[in-house]
Amino acid sequence: MPQSMNFLIAEGNFIYLNLLLQITFLSLTSLVLALQFKKNAVVRYALLYSSLLSLILLCVSSVFIQARGVGFLHFYIESPTAYFEQLLPGLSGDAANLSVLQILAESLSTLADSGVHPGSSSLSSIFNVFNWIIFKLPFFMLLQILWVSGFFIFTIGLLRSIHNAGRIAQRSIKLSAPEYQLFNSVLSQDRFGISQLHCRKSANIKAPVLVGITFPVLLVPNDFFECFDESGISAILCHEVAHVMRKDPIFNFLQKLILTVFWFHPLVHRMDRMISRAREEICDNYVLAQERAVDYGEILLRLNLNQSSKSQDTNNAFQSDVVLGVFSSDWNLEQRIGDLLNHKREILMHLSQRSKTILNISVVAAALTISACQVAAQNVTDQALAQSDREDVVVKQPVDSGVTQTLGPRIAEGIAEIQGLMRGGEDSEPDMERAKELLDELRDERYARMNNFERLRSSTSIQIIIYR
């Protein structure tokens, strides 16, 4: 067995425990710090987005450090699993319940193989797969299967959003000549700082949105130019053009892509929502630099009323995580207008290059430091183990293993006998009751005389051998 596989078998559960704790600590720290800048959206956005990107670096660095064993700060804990859970990785619950489940699965599989029920071949395959997954796979592999399943589902959802947004854009229509002229006259104002932006009309949206990642297109409702005067159109376009100038469609897509990797963590979802809100606040700052907060608030209110008056059918209810617009589903209008009118609000559009560099370096350094802090199992040296139980300890080298396992002869014989009883033979059925008795004897004879350090070391060795 490759050395990397032996490392995963022995340390797989702790790898995932460390990753979960490290991701939680970095995310929680970033959220707490971001809350200290409630009135400064620029700092919040830079801090949270850098932290989100650093989660990838943290995970890669953490796995590398754990594989090499070079972490500089370790927190030792005892494994909470019972002895039989360590002997048979992937199981949970007490020995009696495990035996019942094992007998049930194997009995159903035997019934299916014997052709008692219709479709016996398919039924047998299902129970064999169930039996193998539940009773053979280590716990960390079950977590891997769960993560891959969630990643697949979230990725499909992201791709579906991109596909739906693309279909909306394809079904859009060109602006009329007067609308196109009005749009260009507003866009040509010096404050926008952008020479060209494609704009089209769509009946499938209720508010202006940007669709696309690298070459975004601005979609507006069919009656957009009839509902607003030039000042209203100018304010709304200023918000959307700010997204384009900041390359927000690309950063938003990357943000959602990272979210699919960390789909399982609620704090990462919280970071995602706060990043999206801070992004909208920054684009509002572009408008506030040119318009009065009261006037912009009235424009948003009119846009919201116009949006609410439209029909609520499926097409007009289009929403997608990959599009950017004036409104956000996680931020209600009352809060937004209240923030606009808050005199303590800091109207900044970007950080200085020096401040941005210092912040990014600090976040990366924090991620690397956190990745070097590991939770590990309490262990003992080979010398201490030999002194504590010299008469029972022998060195056993599996034929195809690159590591040496430390097991007593009685334990090795007991494991082999237990495996034989659980599998059964050609002429004999599995004897789960006898297997449980042997487990109890093994505990009384060997584990009851061990201290906690010795139990953990021997259990890890047994876990590797049984897995093989």
Residue 264 burial (10 A CB sphere; 0-12, 13-18, 19+): middle
Neighbours of 29 (CB within 10 A): 15
Contact assessment for residue 254 and residue 261, using Cβ atoms and an 8 Å cutoff: no
Tokens for 259? Answer: 């979210």
| Helices and strands, counts by H and E, the chain | 18, 8
Give the N- to C-terminal CA distance of the chain in Å, as an integer: 8
Q: What pLDDT is stored for residue 449 in this prediction?
A: 58
Nearest to 337 by CA among 272, 287, 290, 270: 287
Note every long-range contact of 29-37, with CB atoms under 8 Å and residues 24 or more positions apart, other chains counting.
Answer: 29/366, 30/271, 30/363, 31/267, 31/270, 31/271, 31/274, 34/274
List Cβ neighbours of 254 (8 Å cut-off, separation of 6 or more): 53
C-beta separation of 282 from 349 below 8 A: yes
C-beta of residue 259 within 8 angstroms of C-beta of residue 252:
no
Q: How many Å is the Cα radius of gyration of the chain?
A: 31
Asked if residue 284 lies in contact with residue 169, where contact means CB atoms within 8 angstroms, the answer is no
* Residues forming beta bridges with residue 400, ordered by sequence position: none
Q: Which two tokens stand for residue 425?
A: 């033979």
Strand partners, 324: 210
Place of tokens 């360590």: 86
Query: In this predicted structure, what is the pLDDT of residue 68?
Result: 84
Please tell me the distance from the alpha carbon of residue 459 to that of residue 442, in angstroms, as a whole number: 12
Which amino acid, 115? G
**CA angle 464-466-468, nearest 5°?**
70
Q: How far is the C-alpha of 199 from the C-alpha of 123, rounded, in Å? A: 57
C-alpha neighbours within 13 Å on the C-beta side of residue 89: 24
Single-letter amino acid code for the residue at 412: A
Q: Residue 429 — φ and ψ, nearest 5°?
A: -90, 155
Question: Helix, strand, or coil here: 345?
Answer: coil
Burial of 198 (0-12, 13-18, 19+ CB in 10 A): middle
State the Cα angle at 361 between 357 and 365, rounded to 5°: 175
Q: What's phi and psi for 28, nearest 5 deg?
A: -65, -40
Residue 236 CA to residue 336 CA, distance in Å, equals 15
What are the tokens at 454?
Answer: 């010795």
- Concatenating the DSSP letter of every residue in 316-328 gives GG---TT-EES-B
Domain ranges for the chain: 151-348, 382-468
Using a 10 angstrom Cβ sphere, with 0-12 exposed, 13-18 middle and 19 or more buried, the burial of residue 239 is buried
CA-based nearest residue to 250, from 279, 284, 274: 279
Give pTM, 2 decimals.
0.70
Q: How many CB atoms lie within 10 A of CB 346?
A: 14
* Regions of the chain where pLDDT drops below 70: 1-13, 76-137, 190-193, 195, 310-321, 328-330, 377-412, 442-468
